[in-house]
Amino acid sequence: MRERELSFDERSKWGDCPVCGVKDGEPCHSEVGFALGVNVNGKRPTEGAHLGRLQRAPFRVREVAA
């Protein structure tokens, strides 16, 4: 078994979002509420994650052989 930390991109798509309702693996809809992500020149991110989703996602995962 191996443990590793999840990247922001992995955590931002982990599980269903409680704010915008997207399913696991899909990016949050940044037009709903306030999505955290990388802004360029003060513009809203086109792809980000809602705080509720990030709080539910783990920081570390354990990989096991299938």
Quick: pLDDT tens for 1-15.
799 999 988 998 999
Q: Between 47 and 57, whose confidence is greater?
A: 57
pLDDT at residue 5 in the model: 95
Comparing CA positions, the residue from 28, 21, 20, 18 lying closest to residue 48 is 28
Number of domains the chain is built from: 1
* Structure tokens belonging to residue 40: 């360029």
pLDDT at residue 17 in the model: 93
The boundaries of the domain holding residue 34 are: 2-63
Quick: pLDDT tens for 27-55.
888 777 776 665 566 555 556 788 889 99
Buried b (16+ CB within 10 A) or exposed e, 35-54: bbbeeeeeeeeeebbbeebb
